[in-house]
Amino acid sequence: MKFVSEIGVNHLGSEKIAIRYCKFLASTQTDSITMQIRESDFYDESISWKNELTKECYLKCAEIIRDSKKSFGLAVGDLDTAKYYEFLKPDFWKVLSWGIKNLSLLKFLVKSDCPVFVSTGISGMDEIISVAKKFGNKISFIHTQLSVNIDDVNLSAIATIREATGCQVSFGLHCDNFDVMGVSLTFKPESLFFYVKEKPDFDYPDGSYAIQLSNLDYTIGKINILAKSIGHGTKKSFVPKTLSTEEQRSLSNIRSGVRNIKTEIK
Protein backbone atom coordinates (compact mmCIF):
# COMPACT_ATOMS: atom_id res chain seq x y z
CA MET A 1 0.00 0.00 0.00
CA LYS A 2 1.26 3.47 -0.95
CA PHE A 3 0.68 6.84 0.71
CA VAL A 4 -0.15 9.65 -1.73
CA SER A 5 0.02 13.24 -0.46
CA GLU A 6 -2.06 15.69 -2.48
CA ILE A 7 -1.26 19.39 -2.48
CA GLY A 8 -4.41 20.25 -4.42
CA VAL A 9 -4.83 24.03 -4.43
CA ASN A 10 -3.72 24.35 -0.81
CA HIS A 11 -0.65 26.16 -2.15
CA LEU A 12 -3.04 29.15 -2.37
CA GLY A 13 -1.79 30.16 -5.79
CA SER A 14 1.70 30.86 -4.48
CA GLU A 15 4.67 29.31 -6.25
CA LYS A 16 6.82 29.87 -3.19
CA ILE A 17 4.37 27.92 -1.03
CA ALA A 18 3.99 25.16 -3.63
CA ILE A 19 7.75 24.62 -3.71
CA ARG A 20 7.85 24.71 0.09
CA TYR A 21 5.21 21.94 0.21
CA CYS A 22 7.28 19.78 -2.12
CA LYS A 23 10.49 20.32 -0.18
CA PHE A 24 8.79 19.38 3.08
CA LEU A 25 7.02 16.34 1.62
CA ALA A 26 10.31 15.18 0.10
CA SER A 27 11.61 14.57 3.63
CA THR A 28 8.56 12.62 4.86
CA GLN A 29 7.49 8.98 4.67
CA THR A 30 4.94 9.64 1.95
CA ASP A 31 5.50 7.58 -1.20
CA SER A 32 4.00 9.90 -3.79
CA ILE A 33 2.97 13.53 -4.22
CA THR A 34 0.36 14.96 -6.58
CA MET A 35 -0.05 18.46 -7.90
CA GLN A 36 -3.49 19.42 -9.13
CA ILE A 37 -3.90 21.41 -12.33
CA ARG A 38 -7.41 22.60 -13.08
CA GLU A 39 -9.01 23.56 -16.39
CA SER A 40 -7.96 26.95 -17.80
CA ASP A 41 -11.20 28.81 -16.97
CA PHE A 42 -10.79 27.87 -13.30
CA TYR A 43 -7.93 30.33 -12.98
CA ASP A 44 -9.89 33.59 -12.96
CA GLU A 45 -7.75 35.11 -10.14
CA SER A 46 -10.91 35.92 -8.16
CA ILE A 47 -9.23 34.50 -5.07
CA SER A 48 -5.61 33.61 -4.37
CA TRP A 49 -5.86 29.88 -4.99
CA LYS A 50 -7.34 30.51 -8.42
CA ASN A 51 -4.01 31.95 -9.58
CA GLU A 52 -2.29 29.66 -12.07
CA LEU A 53 1.24 28.44 -11.36
CA THR A 54 3.85 28.68 -14.11
CA LYS A 55 5.33 25.81 -16.07
CA GLU A 56 8.66 26.58 -14.43
CA CYS A 57 7.12 26.10 -10.99
CA TYR A 58 5.70 22.70 -11.90
CA LEU A 59 9.04 21.66 -13.36
CA LYS A 60 10.81 22.71 -10.17
CA CYS A 61 8.29 20.83 -8.01
CA ALA A 62 8.62 17.70 -10.16
CA GLU A 63 12.41 17.90 -9.83
CA ILE A 64 12.25 18.19 -6.03
CA ILE A 65 9.87 15.24 -5.77
CA ARG A 66 11.85 12.97 -8.08
CA ASP A 67 15.16 13.85 -6.45
CA SER A 68 13.69 12.56 -3.18
CA LYS A 69 12.95 9.21 -4.89
CA LYS A 70 9.20 9.72 -4.60
CA SER A 71 6.65 9.47 -7.39
CA PHE A 72 5.33 12.64 -9.01
CA GLY A 73 1.65 12.65 -10.01
CA LEU A 74 -0.62 15.09 -11.81
CA ALA A 75 -4.31 15.41 -10.91
CA VAL A 76 -6.40 16.66 -13.85
CA GLY A 77 -10.04 16.72 -14.90
CA ASP A 78 -10.03 17.63 -18.60
CA LEU A 79 -8.25 16.60 -21.79
CA ASP A 80 -6.81 20.01 -22.74
CA THR A 81 -5.02 20.32 -19.41
CA ALA A 82 -3.63 16.78 -19.64
CA LYS A 83 -2.29 17.42 -23.14
CA TYR A 84 -0.83 20.80 -22.24
CA TYR A 85 1.08 19.47 -19.22
CA GLU A 86 2.08 16.12 -20.68
CA PHE A 87 5.62 17.50 -20.99
CA LEU A 88 6.00 17.16 -17.19
CA LYS A 89 6.07 13.37 -17.72
CA PRO A 90 4.31 12.44 -14.47
CA ASP A 91 4.91 9.02 -12.96
CA PHE A 92 1.13 8.59 -12.63
CA TRP A 93 -2.10 10.45 -13.30
CA LYS A 94 -5.08 11.08 -11.05
CA VAL A 95 -8.39 11.85 -12.73
CA LEU A 96 -10.51 14.25 -10.67
CA SER A 97 -14.05 13.12 -9.90
CA TRP A 98 -15.82 14.76 -12.85
CA GLY A 99 -13.17 13.46 -15.26
CA ILE A 100 -14.56 9.93 -15.10
CA LYS A 101 -17.23 11.08 -17.57
CA ASN A 102 -14.59 12.28 -20.05
CA LEU A 103 -13.76 9.19 -22.09
CA SER A 104 -11.42 11.16 -24.37
CA LEU A 105 -9.38 12.14 -21.32
CA LEU A 106 -9.22 8.57 -20.05
CA LYS A 107 -8.17 7.24 -23.47
CA PHE A 108 -5.39 9.83 -23.67
CA LEU A 109 -4.06 9.06 -20.20
CA VAL A 110 -4.16 5.30 -20.72
CA LYS A 111 -2.00 5.72 -23.85
CA SER A 112 0.69 7.39 -21.72
CA ASP A 113 1.50 3.97 -20.22
CA CYS A 114 1.52 5.53 -16.73
CA PRO A 115 -0.74 4.30 -13.93
CA VAL A 116 -4.11 6.07 -14.04
CA PHE A 117 -6.14 6.49 -10.83
CA VAL A 118 -9.75 7.51 -11.45
CA SER A 119 -11.64 9.18 -8.61
CA THR A 120 -15.24 8.05 -8.15
CA GLY A 121 -16.39 10.91 -5.92
CA ILE A 122 -19.52 11.70 -7.93
CA SER A 123 -20.14 8.27 -9.52
CA GLY A 124 -22.49 5.39 -8.86
CA MET A 125 -21.73 1.74 -9.57
CA ASP A 126 -23.28 1.72 -13.06
CA GLU A 127 -20.90 4.41 -14.27
CA ILE A 128 -17.89 2.82 -12.57
CA ILE A 129 -18.62 -0.60 -14.09
CA SER A 130 -19.14 0.98 -17.52
CA VAL A 131 -15.74 2.68 -17.39
CA ALA A 132 -14.09 -0.53 -16.16
CA LYS A 133 -15.53 -2.45 -19.13
CA LYS A 134 -13.97 0.06 -21.53
CA PHE A 135 -10.52 0.25 -19.94
CA GLY A 136 -10.14 -2.89 -17.80
CA ASN A 137 -7.01 -3.10 -15.68
CA LYS A 138 -5.42 -0.19 -17.55
CA ILE A 139 -6.96 2.02 -14.86
CA SER A 140 -7.63 1.74 -11.14
CA PHE A 141 -10.26 3.52 -9.09
CA ILE A 142 -10.20 5.70 -6.00
CA HIS A 143 -13.19 5.31 -3.74
CA THR A 144 -13.99 8.64 -2.15
CA GLN A 145 -17.08 10.49 -1.02
CA LEU A 146 -17.09 14.27 -1.35
CA SER A 147 -18.32 14.71 2.21
CA VAL A 148 -16.63 15.31 5.55
CA ASN A 149 -19.40 13.39 7.34
CA ILE A 150 -18.23 10.04 8.68
CA ASP A 151 -21.66 8.55 7.96
CA ASP A 152 -20.99 9.05 4.24
CA VAL A 153 -17.54 7.41 4.04
CA ASN A 154 -18.88 3.97 3.03
CA LEU A 155 -15.58 2.08 3.15
CA SER A 156 -17.31 -1.16 2.14
CA ALA A 157 -17.50 0.28 -1.38
CA ILE A 158 -13.75 -0.38 -1.76
CA ALA A 159 -14.43 -4.12 -1.83
CA THR A 160 -17.65 -3.71 -3.82
CA ILE A 161 -15.95 -1.76 -6.62
CA ARG A 162 -12.98 -4.17 -6.74
CA GLU A 163 -15.25 -7.23 -6.96
CA ALA A 164 -17.52 -5.65 -9.58
CA THR A 165 -14.74 -4.38 -11.86
CA GLY A 166 -11.70 -6.55 -11.23
CA CYS A 167 -9.69 -3.32 -10.89
CA GLN A 168 -7.52 -2.19 -8.02
CA VAL A 169 -9.21 0.34 -5.71
CA SER A 170 -7.60 2.99 -3.51
CA PHE A 171 -9.18 5.14 -0.82
CA GLY A 172 -9.31 8.93 -1.00
CA LEU A 173 -9.84 10.76 2.29
CA HIS A 174 -12.50 13.48 2.33
CA CYS A 175 -13.65 12.90 5.90
CA ASP A 176 -12.52 15.11 8.77
CA ASN A 177 -12.00 12.05 10.97
CA PHE A 178 -8.59 10.74 9.91
CA ASP A 179 -9.07 7.45 11.78
CA VAL A 180 -11.13 6.19 8.84
CA MET A 181 -7.86 5.66 6.97
CA GLY A 182 -6.86 3.08 9.56
CA VAL A 183 -10.26 1.40 9.28
CA SER A 184 -9.93 1.35 5.48
CA LEU A 185 -7.00 -1.06 5.80
CA THR A 186 -9.41 -3.94 6.39
CA PHE A 187 -10.62 -3.48 2.80
CA LYS A 188 -7.06 -3.59 1.42
CA PRO A 189 -6.92 -0.38 -0.65
CA GLU A 190 -4.14 -0.17 -3.23
CA SER A 191 -3.14 3.30 -1.99
CA LEU A 192 -4.29 5.99 0.42
CA PHE A 193 -4.83 9.45 -1.10
CA PHE A 194 -5.12 12.44 1.25
CA TYR A 195 -4.71 16.21 1.05
CA VAL A 196 -2.09 18.05 3.07
CA LYS A 197 -1.85 21.57 4.48
CA GLU A 198 0.72 23.75 6.22
CA LYS A 199 -1.14 25.47 9.05
CA PRO A 200 -3.85 24.21 11.41
CA ASP A 201 -5.68 27.52 11.76
CA PHE A 202 -6.01 28.65 8.13
CA ASP A 203 -9.10 28.19 5.93
CA TYR A 204 -7.67 26.17 3.05
CA PRO A 205 -9.75 25.15 -0.01
CA ASP A 206 -9.10 21.50 0.91
CA GLY A 207 -8.68 22.15 4.60
CA SER A 208 -10.99 20.25 6.93
CA TYR A 209 -9.92 16.86 5.55
CA ALA A 210 -6.25 17.72 4.99
CA ILE A 211 -3.44 16.38 7.17
CA GLN A 212 -1.11 18.99 8.60
CA LEU A 213 2.40 18.57 7.24
CA SER A 214 3.97 18.48 10.70
CA ASN A 215 1.69 15.55 11.63
CA LEU A 216 2.16 13.57 8.43
CA ASP A 217 4.92 11.16 9.48
CA TYR A 218 3.12 10.42 12.74
CA THR A 219 -0.08 9.65 10.84
CA ILE A 220 1.68 7.41 8.31
CA GLY A 221 3.59 5.65 11.08
CA LYS A 222 0.40 4.92 13.00
CA ILE A 223 -1.31 3.52 9.90
CA ASN A 224 1.70 1.31 9.13
CA ILE A 225 1.51 -0.11 12.66
CA LEU A 226 -2.21 -0.79 12.28
CA ALA A 227 -1.56 -2.47 8.92
CA LYS A 228 0.43 -5.18 10.72
CA SER A 229 -2.77 -6.33 12.41
CA ILE A 230 -4.49 -7.23 9.11
CA GLY A 231 -2.41 -10.37 8.62
CA HIS A 232 -2.63 -12.90 5.79
CA GLY A 233 -6.12 -14.23 6.53
CA THR A 234 -5.12 -17.86 7.05
CA LYS A 235 -5.85 -19.21 10.52
CA LYS A 236 -2.98 -21.34 11.83
CA SER A 237 -2.21 -23.04 15.10
CA PHE A 238 -0.37 -20.73 17.44
CA VAL A 239 2.37 -21.62 19.90
CA PRO A 240 2.93 -18.96 22.56
CA LYS A 241 6.52 -17.90 22.92
CA THR A 242 8.58 -19.46 25.72
CA LEU A 243 9.26 -17.03 28.52
CA SER A 244 12.88 -16.18 29.12
CA THR A 245 14.46 -16.88 32.54
CA GLU A 246 14.20 -13.21 33.43
CA GLU A 247 10.52 -13.07 32.40
CA GLN A 248 9.77 -16.23 34.42
CA ARG A 249 11.48 -14.73 37.47
CA SER A 250 9.54 -11.49 37.08
CA LEU A 251 6.25 -13.37 36.77
CA SER A 252 7.12 -15.48 39.84
CA ASN A 253 7.82 -12.33 41.89
CA ILE A 254 4.47 -10.86 40.86
CA ARG A 255 2.64 -14.03 41.90
CA SER A 256 4.50 -14.13 45.24
CA GLY A 257 3.54 -10.54 45.86
CA VAL A 258 -0.11 -11.28 45.17
CA ARG A 259 -0.03 -14.25 47.61
CA ASN A 260 1.55 -12.08 50.31
CA ILE A 261 -1.14 -9.45 49.88
CA LYS A 262 -3.87 -12.09 50.19
CA THR A 263 -2.22 -13.46 53.37
CA GLU A 264 -2.08 -9.99 54.94
CA ILE A 265 -5.73 -9.39 54.10
CA LYS A 266 -6.70 -12.61 55.85
Q: For residues 59 and 74, what is the distance between their CA atoms, to the nearest angstrom?
A: 12
Query: Is 34 a domain residue?
Result: yes
Q: For residues 213 and 215, what is the distance between their CA atoms, to the nearest angstrom?
A: 5
pLDDT tens for the chain, 266 residues long, are 899 999 999 999 999 999 999 999 999 999 999 999 999 999 999 999 999 999 999 999 999 999 999 999 999 999 999 999 999 999 999 999 999 999 999 999 999 989 999 999 999 999 999 999 999 999 999 999 999 999 999 999 999 999 999 999 999 999 999 999 999 999 999 999 999 999 999 999 999 999 999 999 999 999 999 999 988 888 876 656 666 777 666 656 665 654 555 455 55
Query: Is 243 a domain residue?
Result: no
User: Which DSSP helix (H) or strand (E) runs through 169?
Assistant: strand 169-172
Query: Is 69 a domain residue?
Result: yes
Q: What is the DSSP letter of 27?
A: T
Domain count, the chain: 1
Query: Is 253 a domain residue?
Result: no
The Cα diameter of the chain in Å comes to 85
Confidence (pLDDT) at 231: 86
Domain that holds residue 189: 2-227
Query: Is 121 a domain residue?
Result: yes
Query: Is 23 a domain residue?
Result: yes
Domain of residue 25, CATH code:
3.20.20.70
Torsion angle in degrees (nearest 10) through CA of 34, 40, 46, 52? 50
Query: Is 259 a domain residue?
Result: no
Query: Is 127 a domain residue?
Result: yes
